[in-house]
Amino acid sequence: MSNQNLFSALRNAFPSDLDQIAVETEQGLCYSWRDLDRASAMVANLFDGLGIPAHSRVAVQVEKSVEALILYLATLRAGHVFLPLNTAYQSAEIEYFIGNAEPAVVVCSGKNHGWVSPIAFKAGTQYVFTLNDDRTGSLLDRAASQSDRHQPAIRRADDLAAILYTSGTTGRSKGAMLSHGNLLSNAAILKNYWGWVPGDVLIHALPIFHVHGLFVAIHGAMLNGSKMIWHAKFDPRRVIADMPRATVFMGVPTLYVRMLADLDLNRQAVARMRLFIAGSAPLLIETFQEWQQRTGHTILERYGMSETIMLTSNPYAADPRYDGQSERRGGTVGFTLPEVSLRVLDDQGQPCAVDEIGGIQVRGPNVFSGYWRMPEKTAEEFTADGYFKTGDVGKIDPRGYITIVGRSKDLIISGGYNVYPAEIEGFINDMPGVAESAVVGVPHPDFGEVGVAVVIPKPQGRLNGEEIIAILKARLANFKIPKRCFVVDELPRNTMGKVQKNLLREQHKALFKS
């Protein structure tokens, strides 16, 4: 049987002329397909020479750069398991991930080496390398003397390729285990469904430590042999300026909101673009409509998650599975993708009728095999017939369009990042003088939703909302910090004594109204 290593599939999609440009950076640096091939071979050879076990975890917390992309490709190529970590995570968060995943190799920014390496070595990591966003660091120094030819490790479709940490309702992060087959099958489906064509050019402006930027965007472009225009950080002005040289853009809703605020966004700027894709959080219908009016383009919204990669998508072209419908409908996440099974069930576990709201469950070649070293959690989240319970709540209309109406999991999605109230509440509750706290998500014009904390002090406790926020900032990733913190005497409760978060959300819903 042929090698089912995802890297091999990506490599096979490289254009025959390897001197074509694969990635171009804002600084004007151009990397050819040959550069990606040779550089990933060198890093893979470095890994091969380390004497670490096959299928080792390689944990990576580095700024976005083309070398970070090469590190991802090299990890696949060498047959190891890529474990990307948000650059905003601080030491307590990193300590948990590294302790849980026990990576053989950790790659971090040079500026963080001082605190990351003790955490890693304590957890049994054998090698800590540095990689900076200016093409320096010990990883590249060590790889420089390696051969630039490398035979990809033989991997089966169900061998692990990546672990993505995602939190649960308890606030404790779980590593979603994704295989080479999960990633490749989803990428191949999307290549077809989104009509990738020769000559497509992707503007890549998302972080590369989550599903959207790492898998959907990178695999999409690479499987099509398409060039990427690489933005290390999203800047609306620069993205708009690059549109005349590109055809595809992918973003979370906040990116669209920010581009709409720029007067340079007009029909002329987008004239060459073929497709705008949005996801990771709900795209407001106002944003969808304003984009249509301003640019003449209809954003294609899709839905997915770390455990499953992409699940549904609005159609790019007429979909024969759904009576040839081709309309991209705002406020919906479109149709179930080919090869994916999706169902909506009521509280009794019975299938919902058309337009009836229930819990979304999914099955398919894209769905992960389980949570890293958490068999009980895995068992809880799957049904007996193999469907994964997404924790999202939605409905399917008579035409087959799916709408997400909410979540059964207590989760805030802020600017496309997930924030778990239970995790933040845990940190606040541990502060001296705090009796109890509740964190809820409220609407925000830029981030879609942001967290707000409501805290009850202990008797005689002296608390100040700003101080609580300052303490949290020193411990947690910045996007998790509640934007406001109120100290109050009591929280609304139901007769069972449970905090009524819906009432808190209602009370604070206009805090950030624009």
Q: Which residues are at the interface with ligand MLC (CB under 6 A)? A: 206-207, 210-213, 233-234, 252, 254, 279-280, 304-305, 414-417, 447, 450, 478-479
Region from 82-90, 104-112, 278-286, 320-328 binding ligand AMP, contact rule CB under 6 A: 278-286
Give the other-Cβ count within 10 Å of 9's Cβ.
Answer: 21
Does position 254 interact with ligand AMP (CB under 6 A)? The reply is no
The nearer residue to ligand AMP, 55 or 389, going by C-beta atoms, is: 389
Q: Distance of CA 34 to CAs 16, 25, 284, Å?
A: 10, 16, 41
The listed partner (ligand MLC, ligand AMP, none) that binds 295, CB under 5 to 8 Å by sort, is: none
Does position 372 interact with ligand AMP (CB under 6 A)? The reply is no
List the interface residues with ligand AMP, window 210-229 (CB under 6 A): 210-211
Q: Taking the complex as a whole, how short is the minimal distance between the CB of residue 161 and ligand MLC, in angstroms? A: 16
Token code pair at residue 339:
């090869």
The listed partner (ligand MLC, ligand AMP, none) that binds 415, CB under 5 to 8 Å by sort, is: ligand MLC
> Amino acid identity, residue 340?
V
The nearer residue to ligand MLC, 55 or 484, going by C-beta atoms, is: 484
Separation CA 53–CA 84 (nearest Å): 19
Dihedral pair phi/psi, residue 377, rounded to 5°: -60, -45
Among all residues, whose Cβ is closest to ligand MLC? 415
The listed partner (ligand MLC, ligand AMP, none) that binds 46, CB under 5 to 8 Å by sort, is: none
Token code pair at residue 471:
């303490």
Token code pair at residue 486:
């109120």
The nearer residue to ligand MLC, 252 or 491, going by C-beta atoms, is: 252
The listed partner (ligand MLC, ligand AMP, none) that binds 404, CB under 5 to 8 Å by sort, is: ligand AMP
The listed partner (ligand AMP, ligand MLC, none) that binds 330, CB under 5 to 8 Å by sort, is: none
The tokens 């999991």 sit on which residue? Answer: 409
List the interface residues with ligand AMP, window 412-431 (CB under 6 A): 413, 418
The nearer residue to ligand MLC, 125 or 185, going by C-beta atoms, is: 185
Q: Taking the complex as a whole, how short is the minimal distance between the CB of residue 447 and ligand MLC, in angstroms? A: 4
**Considering CB under 6 A, how many residues would be counted as binding ligand AMP?**
19
The listed partner (ligand MLC, ligand AMP, none) that binds 301, CB under 5 to 8 Å by sort, is: ligand AMP
The listed partner (ligand MLC, ligand AMP, none) that binds 428, CB under 5 to 8 Å by sort, is: none
List the interface residues with ligand AMP, window 386-415 (CB under 6 A): 390, 392, 404, 407, 413
Beta-strand runs (E) in 346-433? 358-363, 370-371, 388-396, 402-407, 412-414, 417-419
The nearer residue to ligand AMP, 127 or 165, going by C-beta atoms, is: 165
The nearer residue to ligand MLC, 265 or 305, going by C-beta atoms, is: 305
Does position 366 interact with ligand AMP (CB under 6 A)? The reply is no
Token code pair at residue 315:
């159609």
8 A C-beta contact, residue 434 and residue 461: yes
Separation CA 283–CA 295 (nearest Å): 16
Looking only at the bridges linking them, the beta strands covering 370-371 and 174-179 are antiparallel
* Furthest C-alpha separation in the chain: 73
List the interface residues with ligand AMP, window 9-38 (CB under 6 A): none
Rg for the chain (alpha carbons), in Å? 23
Looking only at the bridges linking them, the beta strands covering 57-61 and 105-108 are parallel
The tokens 């779980």 sit on which residue? Answer: 174
Q: Binding string, 298-337, against ligand AMP, x = CB under 6 A?
A: ---x-xxxx--------------------------x----
Q: Taking the complex as a whole, how short is the minimal distance between the CB of residue 88 and ligand MLC, in angstroms? A: 7
Q: Taking the complex as a whole, how short is the minimal distance between the CB of residue 279 and ligand MLC, in angstroms? A: 5
Separation CA 37–CA 22 (nearest Å): 10
Does position 190 interact with ligand AMP (CB under 6 A)? The reply is no
| Crossing angle for the helix pair 285-295 and 253-260, to the nearest 10 degrees | 50
Does position 166 interact with ligand AMP (CB under 6 A)? The reply is yes
Strand-pairing partners, residue 455, are 437, 487
Selection from 194, 206, 273, 184 nearest residue 69 by Cα: 206
8 A C-beta contact, residue 240 and residue 34: no
Residue 320 has what DSSP assignment? G
The listed partner (ligand AMP, ligand MLC, none) that binds 212, CB under 5 to 8 Å by sort, is: ligand MLC
Residue 213 has what DSSP assignment? I
The listed partner (ligand MLC, ligand AMP, none) that binds 288, CB under 5 to 8 Å by sort, is: none
CA angle 453, 456, 461 (to 5 degrees): 125
Token code pair at residue 398:
């008579």
Binding residues (CB under 6 A) for ligand AMP: these are 166, 210-211, 279-282, 301, 303-306, 333, 390, 392, 404, 407, 413, 418
